Amino acid sequence: MQTELRKVKKLNIVIVENFDQMSEHAANMLRNQILTKPDSVLGLATGSTPLGVYRLLAEYHEMGLDFSEITTFNLDEYIGLAADHPASYRYYMEENLFSKVNAAKKNIHIPNGMAPDLEKECERYELSIQNAGGIDIQILGIGTNGHIGFNEPGTEFGTTTHVVDLTESTINDNARFFESRDDVPTQAISMGIKSIMKARNIVLMANGESKADAIVQAVKGPVTTDLPASVLQLHPSVTFVVDKAAASKL
Ligand code: GLP
């Protein structure tokens, strides 16, 4: 089965010098998507990796790039953090992108980690992606353990938007965004692997040596739920944009 699956592998890998070049490459892919289809549906990510991309998109907007018809779906959100909590992904997106471009509020979608019924919220979110016509281009970072979105190792490939328990490694990695490690939520809502794989195009970005192991396993390792990003080997249109340090083990 695995050998069969590997036959459809078609990964584009772009290796660049550094964070700035990685950001420029990915931002240009998004700009081209928006120019080609002004009402594109963008799948967006958080974390430190896409910060340069958002800075560039804000600059492109100042130079005339129009987001008025764009729809966005974020990958994930912590459970239990209000929208005005500085570590919530809603806050992050507002700070880094939405306050700087002209996307319409009604077209911005982020899972609601404060929803009273989380299962319902997951269903609602998945359905709204479908109703928007699906994602044209999905931006991804990668966790040091190979997670995409918040799909931790062991997540089934058939998952749609779901509630996840964060692993120790992810809680440790993300503690830097909180006052103390104890403040990091232990759960999140995340698009599932299946939701991500439905995107028509995927761009995974990674920079820095700490991502080198995850990248080599995602690109060259077996397709396995132990390393969630390895599933991308089965996607027909995925581009890895990685800097030299993250590519050092390829
Ligand atoms: C979080 C996010 C992921 C992101 C990852 C990597 O866990 N849920 O979507 O890819 O962090 O973060 P960073 O880009 O800060 O290394």
55: in domain: yes
Q: Is 45 in the pocket of ligand 1 (CB under 6 A)?
A: yes
| pLDDT attached to residue 153 | 96
Please give the number of the atom of ligand 1 that sits closest to the Cα of 150: 8
Q: Is 151 in the pocket of ligand 1 (CB under 6 A)?
A: no
3: in domain: no
5: in domain: no
Q: What is the DSSP track for 179-234?
A: SSGGGS-SEEEE--HHHHHTSSEEEEEE-SGGGHHHHHHHHHS---TTSGGGGGGG
Query: Residue 51 Cα, ligand 1 centroid: separation in angstroms?
Result: 11
Instruction: Tell me which residue of 139, 137, 140 sits closest to 37, measured CA to CA.
Output: 137
Look at the chain and report how many structural domains it folds into: 1
Residue 3: band (very low, low, confident or very high) from pLDDT cuts 50, 70, 90: very low
2: in domain: no
137: in domain: yes
The CATH number given to whatever domain includes residue 66 is: 3.40.50.1360
Residue 5: band (very low, low, confident or very high) from pLDDT cuts 50, 70, 90: very low
Owning domain of residue 114: 12-243
Mutate to test the pocket of ligand 1, among 173, 190, 210, 211 (most ligand atoms within 8 A of CB): 173
222: in domain: yes
Task: State pTM to two decimals.
Answer: 0.95
Q: Does residue 7 surpass a pLDDT of 80?
A: no
